[in-house]
Amino acid sequence: MVMDKLGTSLQDALKKLVGAGRIDERTVNEVVKDIQRAMLQADVNVKLVMALSKNIKDRALNEEVPSGTSVREHVIRIVYQELVNILGEGTDIPLTPHKIMMIGLQGSGKTTTTSKLARYFQRKGLRPAVICADTFRPGAYQQLKTLCEGLNVPFYGEEGNPDAVGIVERGLKELEKYDIQIIDTAGRHSLEVDLIEEMEQIHAVANPDYKLLVLDAGIGQQASEQARAFNESIGISGVVISKLDGTAKGGGTLSAVAATNSSIAFIGTGETPDDLEKFEPDRFISRLLGMGDIKSLVEKAEEALSEKEMDIESMMKGKFTLKDMYNQLEAMNKMGPMKQIMQMLPLGGMGIKVPEDAYKVTQDKMTRFRVLMDSMTEEEMLNPRIIGSSRIKRISRGSGCAPEEVRELLKYHKTMQNAMKGLRGGKFNMQKMLKKMGM
């Protein structure tokens, strides 16, 4: 998970509220101290942390508890609201035709982020296209071209031509029929005069609707200096924070950007093309506190399932075949790593803590199941009841898996089939099902 350590520390702090016999000033002080420690370790600015602590403490001790809400729920809600306030509002990039100009220093992950952004709009049903205007960094053209080809995204560039402004002008004409045109510009090691001049010239020619600054999460609180400098040069519409999954300084970057009155548009959450999320502070903090993010999970599921044919009505009646399950596993694979999916569920609020190593085991198990089903006939996929001992042996040999794994798959399928029936009858118990599924 993005900022895993911070999330765990904050969740541990809130557990004190759940376990406390009564919520008094001493309990609140202990929780606030734990939150302070967690935020400082995540590189959040000291002044911001102290202001956050004061707000939480003042509100927790002085605000009247709303009717129908327990004191514990009220304090947890205050912590959630104050953390959301630190991050400010996210940049809203509408799903309509527009031009985007990507800017940032060299090494920030701008080129990779450009391709991820194209993939984001592609998943939303729009037709993106990319222009390579980075004529400064050797290899930028080939890197972006390869990334776009892998995503089947139209690409324009002129390898070896140093005229970035001319490339943008010609690229926009070439790609004008597409919904989204994303321009990847050059970066430098610092905000130098020639970089500013080139950005201003490209800006004048392209007249972009949005200018997104890409910042490496690893720079921490220094993010505020870069955000201010770029904003003063050509103005920025929003910030994309890259590599947020691999640094302990993510809290510093997030809070520093918000402190400059800039807003965050997207966050990079991993290395694959799909690992770019629209930044919404409330959803982000909800996941961080273990409260889940059901809305994002549903959106991911809808995107993944839209590409697979499933008879949902039959499935809900219990007619859940191995073929349906195969499509479901394929969809889950498209949604991202199991860990990301599970962290969108409110497991913290249900008292469920998934061990770190369980994620890999579960992901590996899903992969093995798909391999096994690839060795089955169409008839077996549609009617698993016909799979007896002789068929199990054949499937085992064909897949290179042990017969026990085939039996485990059939047992898992039966569990899922019963779950579908349970959903229809309103008897679905998430905690019980997760236990049965070995998660």
pLDDT tens, position by position, 323-362: 777 776 666 666 555 555 555 554 444 444 555 554 554 6
| Triad 74, 78, 81: Cα angle to 5° | 135
Confidence of residue 314 (pLDDT cuts 50, 70, 90): low
Strand partners, 100: 182, 210
Closest CA to 220 of 405, 19, 45: 45
Contacts of 219 (CB under 8 A, 6+ apart): 226, 249, 253
- 394 strand-pairing partners: none
Tokens representing 80 are 């959630």
- The DSSP element (H or E) to which 98 belongs, if any, is strand 98-103
CA distance 191 to 189: 7
Provide mean pLDDT across the span 135-147: 93
Q: What is the mean pLDDT of the chain?
A: 81
> For residues 136 and 131, what is the distance between their CA atoms, to the nearest angstrom?
14
Give pLDDT, residue 96. Answer: 94
SS3 290: coil
SS3 196: helix
Length of the chain: 439
Residue 289 one-letter amino acid:
L
CA dist 253 and 18 (Å) reads: 30
pLDDT at 436 over 50: no
Question: Using CA of residue 227, residue 43, residue 13, residue 291, what is the dihedral sign?
Answer: positive
Residue 5 in contact with residue 42, Cβ under 8 Å? yes
Q: What percent of the chain stands above pLDDT 70?
A: 78
- Per-residue pLDDT at 270: 83
Q: Under a CB-based contact definition with an 8 Å cutoff, are residues 27 and 17 in contact?
A: yes
Distances (CA, A) of 78 to 63, 85, 186, 246: 10, 11, 43, 29
Distance in angstroms (rounded) separating the CA atoms of residues 372 and 243: 35
Span 231-244, average pLDDT: 89
Neighbours of 424 (CB within 10 A): 14
Model's pTM, two decimal places?
0.68
Helix/strand/coil for 346: coil
> Hey, what amino acid is at 39?
M
pLDDT for residue 310: 47
CA 114 – CA 95 distance, rounded (Å): 16
Q: Return the beta strands (E) in 273-368 as ranges.
A: 276-278
CA angle 305–351–71, rounded 5-degree value: 115
- Short-list 300, 323, 297, CA closest to 311: 323
Lowest mean per-residue pLDDT among 13-22, 83-92, 367-376 = 13-22
DSSP code of 379?
H
